[in-house]
Chains A and B, each alone.
Chain A
Amino acid sequence: MAIDLQVLAPEAIVLAFVLIVLLIHALSGKRSATLVGGLALLGVVLAGAASLYYWGDTVPTFQGMVAADGYGLFANLLFLLAAGLAILMGLEAVRRFDLPAEVFTLILIACLGMMLLGSAVNLVAVFLALEILSISLYVLTASERDEWRSLEAGMKYFVLGGFASAFLLFGIAMIYGATGTFSLAEIGAQGAALGTLRDAPLLAAGLVFVLVGFAFKVALVPFQMWTPDVYEGAPSLVTAFMSVGAKAAGFVALVRILETAFPYWRMEWGWALAVIAVLTMSWGNMAALGQRSVKRLLAYSSIAHAGYIAIGLAVAGRAGYASVFFYLLCYTLMNVGAFAVILAMGRKGAFNEDMDDYAGLIRRKPGLALAMALFLLALAGIPLTAGFLAKLYVFSAAVVGGYAWLAAIALINAVISAYYYLRVAARMFFGEAPADASPIHVSAPLGVTLALTGLATVALGVYPAPILNLIQAAIRPIVGF
């Protein structure tokens, strides 16, 4: 139980770069967005390299607060990917929408929170990490300071997020009351001796409250109400970042908490999550059907995807968790790509988020239209994209885990989702461009974001075998060999 800074190297690097970026930003004045963003990106890359370097060690540190195991390290890579892509988008967004350069710092801090959340093996650490993450996201959401909807979204997110944190904290307190410990492993050991849900009401209530808290964070029905407004109001790069990063962090932490501290009630929380998954994907898809704003549509679709991911969580076991990880990775790529297109469409004062703004995009900006079509098809789960294999993995885990009905419902949902994704595609390819359409500019950072996410979306959809190996190795510290 030593304090070993080395095993937290990735987190330490991110923290160091938070300070460096802050300092450089303060010293270099206002016109340094590119420098600051570039430094932040460097930090992300170095932290990613460190995560790969320490691959394979499992060392709990800081008095058993965090564990640098393969699980946490893979989660780190996922969060760093999301943060890196967000920073890339930010390099353009900061100039285009006149955002403060502090967004880079805040993305790094949020990423630090995610990384700690992925490694936390103690409920206190879980809570602290989640707050680091959440508070930076509140500020990021409101970072478009002269735009009312951004401010409103930030306020909404802050209030409801605080509410969720309170639930989580209350749940942690109850769990502590029932077991006398914050350590996940010890809760697992003590809880197993307590018997059924009915025999241990306090612990059970604690579990429920913790679940509710996380359900808020990852936007599962019925705790999703904040999502559309916040996702629509936040600057696109922030929406992209939190729809993938915060979701991933929440699920990664949930997997560890449920599997380490509550494996003996797997049946019960499995069923609860299965029901929630059905509600979440159905609600998200139904609500998305009627949307006109592409950004809001993607917000609802993001809820639906949380539902698909929850299936993997409900199924549990090696295949279930691995499918959650793979889905998160694929979703990160395709969703960030889609939001990068939304960012490219907008400019200061005119976000151009309505479907009609996308009409005839294939003639105005063919590359952008093709990229968007790819991301939409991937989100719909069409084969030869990452989205298909992500769904395939989750569904095959469900079939094997005895949840074939859940897979069937999810696939029917996928068909519904195809309808609204196609609506956008139909506008882009079959519609007439508006006469007063302003030219669309895709700058280098955005182009790189689109190219990276697009290529990865196809590559993962065609040949995912190496990544799957990595993920299956990463799951081992959680579920054993």
Chain B
Amino acid sequence: MNQMGFPLLTLVVWLPLLGAVLVYGFRREQVKAVKAWALAFTGLTFVGTLLLWGFFRSGEAGYQFVDRAAWIPQFGLEYALGVDGISLFLVILAALLFVVAVLTSWRLVPAEGLRGYFALLLFMETGVLGVFTALDMVLFYVFWEVMLVPAYFLIGRWGGEKRVRAATKFFIYTMAGSALMLVAILALGYVGYSASGAWTFNVAELAGLRIPWYTQLALFGAFALAFAVKAPIVPFHTWLPDAYVEAPTPVTILLAGILGKMGVYGFIRFAIPLFRDAAVYFGPTIQILAVVGVLYGSLIALVQTDLKRLVAYSSLAHVSLIVLGLFAVNAQSMSGAVFQSVSHGIYIAALFALLGALEARKGTRDIAAFGGVWKAAPVMGFFLLMAVLASVGLPGLNAFAGEFVLLLGVFRAQKALAVLGALGMIFGAWYMLTLFQRVMQGTAKPGPLADLTGLEKVTVAPLLLLALVFGVQPNLLYRIIVPAVEAVVKAVASR
């Protein structure tokens, strides 16, 4: 049993699914009630995750709030959930972004099919929270795969012009990436069975396993492929621009803010600590791919004329930087990577929410169609400025606190890679500030442009506030993240 004597984590994970089922208790016409219902359930879930933070025993490395029960004893499968310093903030971020997603959906989604929309969104929340909390690897895979279904239908039904193509590409790429992971999970279970004589897929129990070298290479490869597609890492990123751009704004927020982090999380939770030798062996290769991703994403972002596409490529660059930090495998770089995963989720959500607001007003995402927006909409201008500054890593905002620590860690081990990674930050400042300048300043384009509505302000402002708080007080997160990361680093060092 866990520290609360109450299955809080289970409740948090399944609450959204309950909401998804019960939303059909409303009639089709009760549009307002359906929206309020979705907000209530995502909000309650968020409160639940905050409780997790409140009761979390910081300074401890192991899993907390663990809920365990036999699931399919014949296969040794367990229902096992838990969080540690690595996953805690990703869980909170996920719950927060789903609230944001519901709020950004408020005006965006037509009344027809509204219940289905929110049911899928809530269903997806359960999947995402499950991914970040599952301790049984097959259970992890279940959440990982099942989450694709609502994402597919959300993009395919409510997305942009080429939505069906984008949705299919997203689904098939991710499924193809993770197909081999299932075999690898089963093989890992078998290795554990051969060693101990009992079937288990519990990651805590498999963590200390000694795995033969070539088996490690194969299994690491299978896991890494799945996570590399999800994160994504170049050259497995080709689904990203399509999906991010075609998805409806709330789903883009989730894709960029939290779904990509599932790949990062997979590396640090499974691929690195389970296959320590292989992770060290493949580390530099993945880091080089990550650096390529940083530079490639940045350069492509520089020449984009489409608002969403620009930020999509910037997201590729930022997530690549996180992966660069992960595979330096020291406490600094990895803590920075986890911190930056959370902080990227915060400002990318704000960015996409604001771009969505811009797109909704002009009916286009073409940057050339905008200009001088600040004059017409000063609040939006200010918010976008904050989000852009957060994203370029201005000291005092959250990305700085993450990327600085991350790059410092990388620099200790690999100076050249750190310099190249830092170059990405410079490019980032270039394209993001250019974006801001072209949209907000200069001569105003014809046509009225309303400022942010109250709801939009309420949606984005907390994100920007968080960016500031975490930028000034990064230790709020670091003191919980670092012990968990140090345990991983220690395990790798003592392989």
Residues of A in contact with B (beta carbons under 8 Å apart): 377, 382-384, 388-389, 392-393, 395-396, 399-400, 404, 407-408, 411-412, 414-415, 418-419, 422, 426, 429-430, 463-465, 468-469, 472
Contacts and interface: CB of A to CB of B under 8 A. Distances in A.
Given A414-B179, A418-B172, A472-B74, A426 B164 contact: yes
Contact of A404 (B75, B164, B167, B187): B187
Contacts of A384: 142, 146
14 contacts: A383-B146, A384-B146, A392-B75, A392-B138, A392-B186, A395-B182, A395-B183, A396-B75, A396-B189, A399-B183, A404-B187, A408-B180, A422-B152, A472-B74
B251 to A, nearest CB: 15
B60 interface: no
A428 to B, nearest CB: 10
B146 A382 contact: yes
Interface in B144-198: 145-146, 148-149, 152-153, 156-157, 163-164, 167-168, 171-172, 175-176, 179-180, 182-183, 186-187, 189-190, 193
B14 interface: no
* Centre residue among A393, A422, A472 by max chain B CB count within 10 A: A422
Contacts of A392: 75, 138, 182, 186
A393 B145 CA distance: 17
6 closest A-B pairs (Cβ-Cβ)?
A383-B142, A411-B179, A399-B186, A468-B74, A415-B176, A383-B146
Contact of B187 (A399, A414, A463): A399
Given A382-B149, A426-B164, A430-B164, A400 B190 contact: yes
Contacts, number: 87
Contact of A415 (B142, B146, B149, B172): B172
A464 B193 CA distance: 22
Contacts of A408: 179-180, 183
Contacts of A415: 172, 175-176, 179
Interface residues of B, number: 35
Contacts of A463: 71-72
B146 A407 contact: no
A419 B152 CA distance: 12
Contacts of A419: 168, 172
Nearest to A462: B71
Contacts of A407: 183, 186
B171 A429 contact: no
A469 B183 contact: no
A410 to B, nearest CB: 9
B156 A426 contact: yes
Nearest to A400: B190
A393 B74 CA distance: 10
A401 B183 CA distance: 13
B447 interface: no
Contacts of B54: none
Interface string B126-151: 00000000000010011101101100
B183 A422 contact: no
A412 B176 contact: yes
Interface in B261-301: none
B73 A465 contact: yes
Contacts of B180: 408, 411-412
Contact of B168 (A377, A412, A422, A469): A422
